[in-house]
Structure 1
Amino acid sequence: MTIPKFECWIIIQKPVREVFSGVYDNKKISAYFTTAGASAPLKEGSTVLWEFADFPGPFPVTSKKVIDDKLIIFEWGNPDGKGENTVEFHFEALNTGETKVKVYETGWKDNEENVKLSYGNCMGWSQMISALKCYLEYGINLRKGAYKPLAGG
């Protein structure tokens, strides 16, 4: 079995500063992704809490490295409850009004459960960057009404 590592990406019709801020800034990310809030910006070395109205949380997110307008790396719990995964956001200015965002997640274990869990997270990050695009380009919260709360959550 191969240990999963995935990449998803999108081009957003906004300057890199604005796109980077859309992930880094807790008020902005709460407007389109962490539907029950994010406790603070992803300042390097800090641990913040991300909460989702449709998924039980909160989830601690530990910011490991931040390079303004270029990179955000953080760790958060593997969905199997055993260890941490690393998530990387790479921001590339294609020109003054377009930014390519790439997301990678690693840390998956070499077993069938983690392969299945990695597919779910890959889907989630693809949806997250699509929601980021909708929010920044059109002011739309793509997640609003898209998911029902899980039982007990």
Structure 2
Amino acid sequence: MKLRFEVQGKIKKPVAEVFDAVYNPKKLSGYFTTGGASGPLDEGKTVTWDFADFPGAFPVHVKQVVMNKKIVLEWTNTEGGNNRMEMNFEALDNISTLVKISESGWNKENQESLDASYGNCMGWTQMLCCLKVYVEYGKNLREFFF
């Protein structure tokens, strides 16, 4: 069994604005990587993400970027393998976007891997909520989560 999940949410902003809020490190740090993001999510680059509420920057490898459509990232998991996150952006109309986030990479069939996947699923769901509040209302919801 391979552990994998997908979460999604609708955001009432145009796709280019929603995509930029993830791609742009200044914006991403305004609601998600509150300890900082070292650079834009340019394909082939490695950036670091840090979280003020969970200190300790870690490297994120940018595998693929299709502007206003897709971002694919990888990082090392606790098993020593790589997790792969894919974020897809779909323009529903001129003023709204559907964002889908999937993650995979846990290869061991044990409680630790299952717990890690559940934790990341919760984290990406919270990221979607924070992204929505940030781009629709200009507020940092993350500071109220933790």
Correspondence for 2:93: 95
Correspondence for 1:140: 139
The 3-state SS of whatever aligns with 2:33 is coil
> Which sections of structure 1, spanning at least 5 residues, go unmatched?
148-153
Report Cα offsets for 1:75-99 as digits up to 9, x if no partner: 0121x25121000000000000000
Count, aligned residues:
145
Fraction of identical pairs, as percent: 53
Q: 1:144 corresponds to which letter in structure 2?
A: E
Correspondence for 2:5: 6
| Partners of 2:70 and 2:145 in 1: CA distance | 29
When normalised by structure 2's length, the TM-score is: 0.96
> How large is the RMSD of aligned CA atoms in angstroms?
1.0
Query: Does structure 2 conserve the Cα–Cα contact (< 8 Å) formed by 1:3 and 1:115?
Result: no
| Partners of 1:105 and 1:57 in 2: CA distance | 21
Q: 1:17 corresponds to which letter in structure 2?
A: A
Task: Compute the displacement of 1:56 (Å).
Answer: 3.0
> Which sections of structure 2, spanning at least 5 residues, go unmatched?
none
| Partners of 2:66 and 2:103 in 1: CA distance | 18
Q: Higher strand proportion, which one?
A: 2
Confirm whether residue 115 of structure 1 aligns to residue 114 of structure 2: yes
The 3-state SS of whatever aligns with 1:120 is helix
The 3-state SS of whatever aligns with 1:100 is strand
Correspondence for 1:33: 32
When normalised by structure 1's length, the TM-score is: 0.92
Moved over 4 A (4+): none
Correspondence for 2:82: 84
